[in-house]
Amino acid sequence: MSHKDDISNLFRRFGATSDSYHEFETPFDYPCAAPQKMPLPAEPAYLPEVVAQVVENMAAEPQNEQAPFKSLPFSVVTPGAQPVVQSVIPAVEPSRRDIEAPLMSSGDVATPLRHLLAEVALARQAEMHAQLQPDACAPKCKAHVVALVSAKGGVGKSTLGAGLASSLHLGAGKTLAIDLDPQNALHYHLGIESGAVGLGSTCAQGTTWADKLQQGFDDAQLLPYGVLSDDERCALERDMSQDRHWLARQLASLDLGESDVVILDTPTGRSLYLEQALDVADQVIVVTTADAASFIALDQMDRLIDSALTRPESSVCNYVVNQFDARREFSRDMLEVLKRRLGGQLLGVIALDNTLGESLAYGRNPLASPHASAVCQEMALLAKQLKARFQNAAVSAMSAL
């Protein structure tokens, strides 16, 4: 059946004829030529077959007698084999620096984390300060240097320092008290009214320490801390931070002798002033009291003293219990605990005496009273112990020569 018959049958089903049917051929104007089919590329031959064909052709060709052909070595790579690539960059292990840190004791574990972090930060700063001048040597001070330190305020450290400055003398030598505490209170205990000019102002004015010494009780000389502005204090502490032997150089400029004694009054806790004092002190005295707060702070002070980077090897550390009230049973019990805790490091016990405060109010020397109180006798006894220790050290040094 033709195409025309199909159309006639279709029209007949609808009750019509195909006489009026006409086909139209409409030409289409394509915008571009129709894509032509590209021949498929021939399937590449496997590499082993190509290599084998080349070798066969080379063997069939005649060889030149004058220039014999020298076959080159080759390797056949099988399909799917992955070449082994050797790394030209040697493996370098990251450098690791051994971390050395002191182990924590059972008492350190109970210390609040913020205190431990503060100690780590201060130790890091001290290490950085030490690295700034690794080749700098500290001048040796011939005088005997006593540093009074404490981990807690209100223990009577300045009062004890003034008492030692008035009573501790070696022969014809002089006793010099230096106030390193920004509170600038030591001059009141030595009967000096004005303490405005001191070690801080000497740095700002370019003068020497010897020009600023003032006379106190019992021929004791004092260099106050002074009344400093914020800029002067920042400049002073910047000098200390940049030179860990700053105090040693200042003492060397005073030309002190072997019979001279220097008493250093330091602020409470860790500071740049404490680090400078520990750098020169051959006798460190930790002033504490017979109470719970002072006992708890002992561990912190021990760590501060032991972590001193420049502390002299001959330096000795002892403890003095100050303001002891024998009338209270708890104070007596705490004293027994401190004796067990400190052992032979406990150098003396000084009783609580309100006459010291009265002497401070009236500007009197409590040690010069004809009727010396028990606390004055105990201070004098402590001064005799230190004097005997210094004299024995001098004899030992002479015999070693």
Predicted pLDDT of residue 134: 42
Predicted pLDDT of residue 115: 79
Amino acid at 371: H
Pairwise pLDDT comparison (96 vs 144), residue with the higher score: 144
Place of tokens 């950085």: 128
Mean per-residue pLDDT for 61-72?
50
pLDDT in tens, 342-378: 999 999 999 998 888 888 888 888 888 767 788 889 9
pLDDT in tens, 79-101: 555 555 454 444 444 444 444 55
Q: What is the DSSP string of 314-338?
A: T-EEEEEEEEE-TT-HHHHHHHHHH
pLDDT in tens, 317-348: 999 999 999 999 999 999 999 999 999 999 99
Mean per-residue pLDDT for 102-123?
72
pLDDT in tens, 159-180: 999 999 999 999 889 999 999 9
Give the helix/strand (H/E) hosting 230: helix 230-242
Greatest distance between any 2 Cα atoms in the chain: 157
Pairwise pLDDT comparison (92 vs 248), residue with the higher score: 248
Mean pLDDT of the chain: 79
Class of domain 109-400: alpha beta
pLDDT of 43 above 60: no
d(CA 296, CA 342): 13
Per domain, the residue ranges of the chain are 109-400
Mean per-residue pLDDT for 17-28?
63
**DSSP letter, residue 19:** T
d(CA 67, CA 375): 118
Give 279's contacts (C-beta < 8 A, 6+ positions apart): 138, 244, 245, 247, 248, 308, 310, 311, 312
Determine phi and psi for 222, rounding to 5 degrees: -135, 140
